[in-house]
Structure 1
Amino acid sequence: MTAAPVVHVSAAVVTDESGRALVVRKRGATVFQQPGGKPDPGESAVEAVAREVREETGILADTASFVPLGRYTDAAANEPGHVVVADAFALRVADGTGSPAGEIAELRWIGPREVATTPLAPLSRNHLLPLAWA
């Protein structure tokens, strides 16, 4: 049996002053996930997450504002048969921050009560969103 192909990404657990977590839905996708994506060649995980957050949500944050949360693995939501390995970082922002940009079709701020009714990527549901309210 061959192992599933691995996709490496950087992901941001962005929370606001009201304790909500930011999730985004890419164009053509049916589930929401944390802002983030694949690092460019030569780019560190934290550089990638800062760039991706800016490109996807318009939120500008220095790399020093991101707090490392660890590395998490789950089934990839948008690449069937793949496994995603995410270097996760926390970022706190003001309420009302961000708007959909780039490849993002929709942006939502959710609380723990909305998790059950929001279509979420496995990595977000199982690992990253619980970190937002830990």
Structure 2
Amino acid sequence: MSGTIHVAAAVVVADDGRTLVVRKRGARVFQQPGGKPDAGEDALAAVVREVAEETGIAADPGDYVPLGRFTDDAANEPGHRVVGDAFLLRVGPAEATASGEIEELRWLTAAEVPDTPLANLSRNHLIRFAWP
């Protein structure tokens, strides 16, 4: 492995039970919204900022519930590991807009997960938190 990438990610769940995944421009797999913290930024501040930038969902930091730290092979950077600080965010109606580096977003049901191309961190660790 040539490196470690630190990210903050949100498992966003709408009141209809679907969960939000995004596909970044140039990527082939979907993942939870989120991204790399800026210098001096903690994981919570990073996830609040990234979710707003990528999806237009502006939530109060107090609305995010910490889920823990998870590690897996990076989806878009071969030879790297990703370490993700994850949070759960429950929102009202399933409304979001792809913006910034996001090419596509989807609201998934549990039944759609097996047929959706997901990043390792999402499939192996995070998506399960959408449906406890």
* TM bucket, shorter chain: over 0.9
Q: Distance in 1 between matches of 2:97 and 2:15?
A: 17
Pick from 35, 56, 63 the counterpart of residue 58 of structure 1. Answer: 56
For the residue of structure 1 that corresponds to 2:44, the secondary structure is helix
Report the Cα offset of residue 97 of structure 1.
1.7
Letter in 2 for 1:111: T
CA contact (8 A) 2:9 2:85 kept: yes
Query: Structure 2 unaligned runs (5+)?
Result: none
Name the Cα RMSD after superposition.
Answer: 0.8
Alignment partner, residue 70 of structure 2: 72
Q: Distance in 2 between matches of 1:93 and 1:105?
A: 22
Report the Cα offset of residue 94 of structure 1.
1.4
- The alignment-based identity, stated in percent, is 64
Alignment partner, residue 105 of structure 1: 103
For the residue of structure 2 that corresponds to 1:52, the secondary structure is helix
Letter in 1 for 2:60: D
TM-score, length of structure 2 as denominator length: 0.97
For the residue of structure 2 that corresponds to 1:72, the secondary structure is strand
Letter in 1 for 2:56: G
For the residue of structure 2 that corresponds to 1:28, the secondary structure is coil
Pick from 20, 32, 54 the counterpart of residue 18 of structure 2. Answer: 20
| Pair 1:41 & 2:35 matched | no
Report the Cα offset of residue 109 of structure 1.
0.3
Q: Distance in 2 between matches of 1:8 and 1:125?
A: 17
| Pair 1:82 & 2:80 matched | yes
Alignment partner, residue 116 of structure 1: 114
The runs of at least 4 aligned residues of structure 1 exceeding 3 Å deviation read none
Alignment partner, residue 127 of structure 1: 125
Letter in 1 for 2:8: S
Report the Cα offset of residue 96 of structure 1.
2.7
TM-score, length of structure 1 as denominator length: 0.96
Report the Cα offset of residue 119 of structure 1.
0.5
Query: Structure 1 unaligned runs (5+)?
Result: none
